[in-house]
Structure 1
Amino acid sequence: MQKGAAERKPGETDDELLHKVGTGNWRAVRLLDYPVDRILEAAGAWKAQAAGIVKPWLVWCAHPDWAVLQQKLVLSAGWTPIVGFDPRVSHVPIVPGSLRIDFNEQLQLPLMYPHFPVELAFMWIDKIAFWHSDFLLAHDMMERVATQFESLPQGECFVTHPGHPIRTRLKWLLNAKDARYWELLGCTTKEASKSQWDNGTSWWMNFQDHPNCPDKVEYERRAKCYYDHGSGIRYWHQKCGGRVRFIYETEIAHGHFTKIGNPDFKRSIPAGQSDSLRLMEQDMSRNFGLVEAAKKMRIEDLLSSD
């Protein structure tokens, strides 16, 4: 059935759209007519590489030193780091006990966000925990979250609920234009991921352009939702009977070393340019000291060399 029409933004080039495909953006996929079958074929190849991994946790290397610390933190909780990476990163260090997977090996996109393996979890893994590349947890919270993730049943997923749990929900009741669930910290299962795919809901941006969006009426309804990552997961929960458990941002925000709400943030790209062109390694080096971040989270013991 004919759906609504995705439109280019003024001056939006094919190269910029290809970068946006790498961030996980269904509008870009649709505008470029990028083959979804190629994406699924690539995801199917990841399964053999991850076979036999117990308690996998996705660590996305956008900065080598931060990725090492995240791997050590995951290992300290008894999980196995699955290390993917931004293809623009300078190098990808692997801590003993971690597994490196080049999720971009077949697709060769100019960049890739962790939303790719998370979105396509049903193709390659039974359960996968994940977090942002610029995020850390204290040991006690790491153990608590790891225990919660381990007990997560098939068909459900953990998401980060933005902001204050009560105030944010009240705000969304009045105006839901920026309503979404967040992938700052989460965990998904194969059955939840497959349900999201089948329903045409998504971790990716502009989920109304998902190939499984059923019809024009539903397209127009979904197009009114927030465009950003995770909006489709909230829709899955609210409209499709999806089962979601929450981690509240207020409990973990102090471990997020981000440009969000940071007026002194030094950007790697000029203001106004698409975040798809952002160089995370430069941003993290310019704005956040890893030693100071580790001390803030009381995990400086993991900084010592092995």
Structure 2
Amino acid sequence: MFKGVFTALITPFRNGQVDHIALGNLIDRQIESGISGLVPCGTTGESATLTHAEHRQVIESCLERVNGRVPVIAGTGSNSTAETIELTLFAQQAGAAAALLITPYYNKPTQEGLFRHYQAVANAVDIPLVLYNVPGRTGVDMQPETVARLARHGQIVAIKEATANMERASMILQQTAGRITLLSGDDATFLPFLAIGGDGVISVTSNIAPTPMVALWKHFQNGELAESQKLHLQLLEINRLLFCETNPIPVKAAAAMMGLCSPEIRLPLTPLAENWRDPLRQAMSRIGLVEAE
């Protein structure tokens, strides 16, 4: 259902508040670069430190600025099933194209618990749902067998698989038999993910470099594999450095270097360490995002 490059949007802050002006400008830049869609209030959007009111405001602000130009997949997941349903209903009523649902974190449900959680949400809403598996963040790993069970539900249309494991992605494809869209949650393995049958990426890198990410996707779609590989290799360094510290610390620092927003980030995350700033800027300069110092 959702194919191509979707940007996991950062949430700009200024003086402790969401900077809706910067957010709107970021959104316009993304759409003008040919992005397939936008994902506000995910991990990269610091959803864990947004208040419930801010969470809703960011979704509404994004939908208003997008104004139907591209699909918006709103991050509405939580470790509470009831809260997830509440937020997802809000996204549905606000006009989001779909909702992205993280696996419940910290309380570490079993595979049966994951199944029942997602089933409960899917039964309570009337909006397409995108599963989101990132065990390095949540402490729980949704197995392909569980994904296959959930893929039988008509509301569950895609999964963001962020393990960077091609065998895992292949198993999901095999066991779901094409019933859901497979999206990568890892920029560095975007091209390998496409090669095994993936449909796109929910990207951190495209916050700052949407054009080459979109070009990589389009070249692959057109069968221009050498061109896709060239871009894959050109982006490899920046993809690595954007995870030199916990996401979204590096990408927010990079966006600030480009003048896209302030570098402000919320505790318990902290600004990018000084020893990473020059390597990040140099990598950005090598792909034309900033001028070298």
Provide TM-score, normalisation by structure 2. 0.29
Q: Which has the higher contact order (CA 8 A, sep 6+)?
A: 1
Superposition TM-score, scaled by structure 1 size = 0.28
